[in-house]
Amino acid sequence: MKSNLGFTGWYCANMANQDDWTSGDIAGIVANPFYAINIDQGLALPHEPMISEDDWIKANVNLIRELGPEPYLRNLLFILKGNYPRR
């Protein structure tokens, strides 16, 4: 289903308690590779990924289109520095 909300807006609109989530929260979660892979054990504990690598890539291609490459990369660096969304 096509939406005029954009990628992050669509996620916000379809999440429980959507009033508590911002587009930035969703962008941070979508862009975080932790949810798609087990990061090096020196950096994070092993866990069951919540999304496939292919789905993570597709979601992030859309996020890059929505945000633009520079804001996307700044967001990714923000995440990799340990600045995670509040959830």
Answer whether 28's CB lies under 8 Å from 11's CB: no
pLDDT tens, 57-73? 999 999 999 999 999 99
Q: What is the pLDDT of residue 8?
A: 46
Answer whether 30's CB lies under 8 Å from 59's CB: yes
Q: What is the pLDDT of residue 12?
A: 45
| pTM for the structure as a whole | 0.64
20's CB contacts (< 8 A; 6+ apart) are: 87
